[in-house]
Structure 1
Amino acid sequence: MEKNIFIVDEKDKGIRIDKYLSEVFDDKSRSFIQGLIEKESIKVNNKIQKSNYKLKPYDEIEVLLSEPEILKVDPEDIPLTILYGDKDIVVVNKEQGMVVHPAPGNYNGTLVNALLFHCKDLSSINGVIRPGIVHRIDKDTSGVLVIAKNDEAHNKLSEQLKDHSMKREYYALVEGRIKNDNGTINKPLARNKKDRLKIAVVEGGKNAITHYEVLERYNGYTLIKCILETGRTHQIRVHMSSIGFPLVGDPLYGFKKQKFKLKGQMLHAKTLGFIHPSKNEYMEFTTELPQYFEEILNKLRNELK
């Protein structure tokens, strides 16, 4: 078992323990934390507390996490576009349609299966089904991802995600013409209580901030660049939909009637920048938009002529 100790700061006074720990463990959901509390794997000042326990300054929280299981996900010879690789990290350009990591009932054809074939070593921090995965993007979102090959690299990259120093820029095509040239969406996100497949803007949810900038305007559409300050599940998709400009092709948050035949939302993780975990040097990777994305943009540009 891995033991983690946290001392509560004054600024976190009154926050529910499950909410606090889901923020501390950015890759763990609130329900996962609640499950640990039910299993008595979490103690406050050496006592078992409930999920709704409100923290007090200087509370000592002990969290026990199970050791990673022996890896059982099979390597698969799936083509990968590798942008960079060394003993610590590998940077890839994920295609639209590829799931990042296996899930129950779907253990094949994922980025992890491909990585296990192409890389000898991956970090073990995220256990059996997510080895090396520091951050992820949705199945139908394409673009650049960094993967950790060892636990030290994983921890250092995760810290950059948590302190918002990792640069993440996305290109998205949205419905409607956005009038202002830029803006910031600051709305908390949580699982939709009525539909567990969806994320929603929920008061008391996880802090989520998206900055956007208009790149091009077309007839009824806008190409934008989104800069993530936080990285919540479906963040860009939900945030843009919440202000009336859902992503084109989005099956969950977009319009039912679509002009283009698409396999999913038009969202591409274009640029990723971070400090290399061992070289301590800044590295930045920028990828081109997928062919289908460019073809649709060209059609919209031609309509303006």
Structure 2
Amino acid sequence: MSQRTAPIPARHGVTPSFLQLPAGDWPDLFSFLLERFAHIPAKTWRSRLEKGEVFDHLGRPHSLASPYPANRRIWYYRETEQEVIVPFEADILYRDTRLVVADKPHFLACIPGGRHVQQTLLTRLRSQLDLPALTPIHRLDRETAGVMLFCVDPACRAGYQMLFQSRQVQKEYEAIARFDQSLVLPRIHQSLLREEPGRFVMREIAGTPNSETRIELLAQRGHWGRYRLLPHTGRKHQLRAHLAALGIPILNDPWYPRLLGDKAADDFSAPLQLLARAISFTDPYSGKTQRFTSARRLDWPDAD
């Protein structure tokens, strides 16, 4: 077994996490865990160790009395306290021996992270389809709905990811945002995007562009427009940052044009009006031209 191979299987669709332990003289593993994960209550680690839910590099369970195994790797399953249930389901658009294509709902994170573990699209699909080795080929923001690709066969993942890296995948998005009659459309918007240090958001700054989006107006209703967005690059929050920079931030965006912060975890009343409408590519293994389209829709806001 290689050092990177997990000695324990996925559980409820969640693959185990690991930690490489440093050299040190902690009296026991429990003492180290309390210091290393100070944000996690001591009772949580005590319970995990008492139940044998922390494992050594060979997959053997540690106990509360286990000495500190310096320079070894431990494995465990990530958990969150009182994880909020996301009451929306993904639809399966396509499945074969290499690919699963899902139509992701708003509010559902793609992969485990932070306060989201069970309530993620990857975890749900692994359990629902009995595919513990399923992995995402690309990402969508938690707030964004629409088409997302997953790889069934780990040996094929690199081939699909190469399509994204070499920009051989055509992605089409839709958004509802404020209508500005002074904005000339269609247009190609290019800018240099950088993440603000210590913050979650991206900002445009002066310099050679590293992001590009084609923006088209599909329809207008009062003060609002429905836009088609065709990204040529795939920077973090690119579409959200680009429209905000043009003065037409996407409806219900909590992060742009200014940092407002997260809503309550169980507030599903105002989804971000951004949808990954379609994705097209030539399959590197079958040679078949593939196009997958979301069946979801964005809702126009009230007239006022």
Which interval holds the TM-score relative to the shorter structure?
0.5 to 0.7
In the TM superposition, residue 286 of structure 1 has moved relative to its aligned partner by 1.2
- Equivalent of residue 214 in structure 2, options 207, 211, 217: 211
1:157 maps to 160
1:185 paired with 2:189, answer yes
1:11 maps to none
1:170/1:270 contact within 8 Å kept: yes
Q: Give the aligned residue type for 1:269.
A: A
Alignment of 1:110-259 (within 5 A): 110-121=120-131, 132-178=135-181, 179-193=183-197, 196-203=199-206, 207-254=210-257
Q: Give the aligned residue type for 1:87.
A: T
* Structure 2: distance between partners of 1:71 and 1:81: 30
* Partner deviation per Cα, 1:45-103 (whole Å, 9 max, x = no partner): xxxxxxxxxxxxxxxxxxxxxxxx989479x9x84310000110000000011011111
How many pairs does the alignment contain? 219
Identity of aligned residues (%): 21
* Structure 1: distance between partners of 2:207 and 2:131: 39
1:23 maps to none
1:285 paired with 2:292, answer yes
1:188/1:205 contact within 8 Å kept: yes
* Structure 1: distance between partners of 2:243 and 2:96: 36
2:106/2:272 contact within 8 Å kept: no
Q: Give the aligned residue type for 1:201.
A: E
1:88 maps to 98
In the TM superposition, residue 122 of structure 1 has moved relative to its aligned partner by 5.8
2:118/2:124 contact within 8 Å kept: no
In the TM superposition, residue 228 of structure 1 has moved relative to its aligned partner by 1.1
* Partner deviation per Cα, 1:12-61 (whole Å, 9 max, x = no partner): xxxxxxxxxxxxxxxxxxxxxxxxxxxxxxxxxxxxxxxxxxxxxxxxxx
* TM, length-normalised to structure 2: 0.64
Q: Give the aligned residue type for 1:264.
A: P
* Structure 2: distance between partners of 1:164 and 1:115: 26
1:188/1:207 contact within 8 Å kept: yes
Q: Give the aligned residue type for 2:163.
A: Q
* Structure 2 residues without counterparts, runs of 5 or longer: 4-73, 80-84, 261-267
1:263 maps to 270
1:153/1:277 contact within 8 Å kept: no
2:190/2:209 contact within 8 Å kept: no
CA 1:255–1:151 in structure 2 vs 1: closer, same or farther (change >3 Å)? same
Q: Give the aligned residue type for 1:288.
A: A
In the TM superposition, residue 229 of structure 1 has moved relative to its aligned partner by 0.7
* Structure 1 residues without counterparts, runs of 5 or longer: 3-68, 124-130
In the TM superposition, residue 175 of structure 1 has moved relative to its aligned partner by 1.5
2:245/2:257 contact within 8 Å kept: no
* TM, length-normalised to structure 1: 0.64
Tell me the secondary structure at the aligned position of residue 103 of structure 2.
Answer: strand
CA 1:205–1:149 in structure 2 vs 1: closer, same or farther (change >3 Å)? farther
Q: Give the aligned residue type for 2:105.
A: E
Query: Considering only aligned residues, what root-mean-square deviation do their CA atoms show, in Å?
Result: 3.1
Report the structure, 1 or 2, having the larger helix content: 1
Q: Give the aligned residue type for 1:102.
A: P
Q: Give the aligned residue type for 1:110.
A: T
Q: Give the aligned residue type for 2:240.
A: R
Tell me the secondary structure at the aligned position of residue 136 of structure 2.
Answer: coil
* Structure 2: distance between partners of 1:73 and 1:88: 27
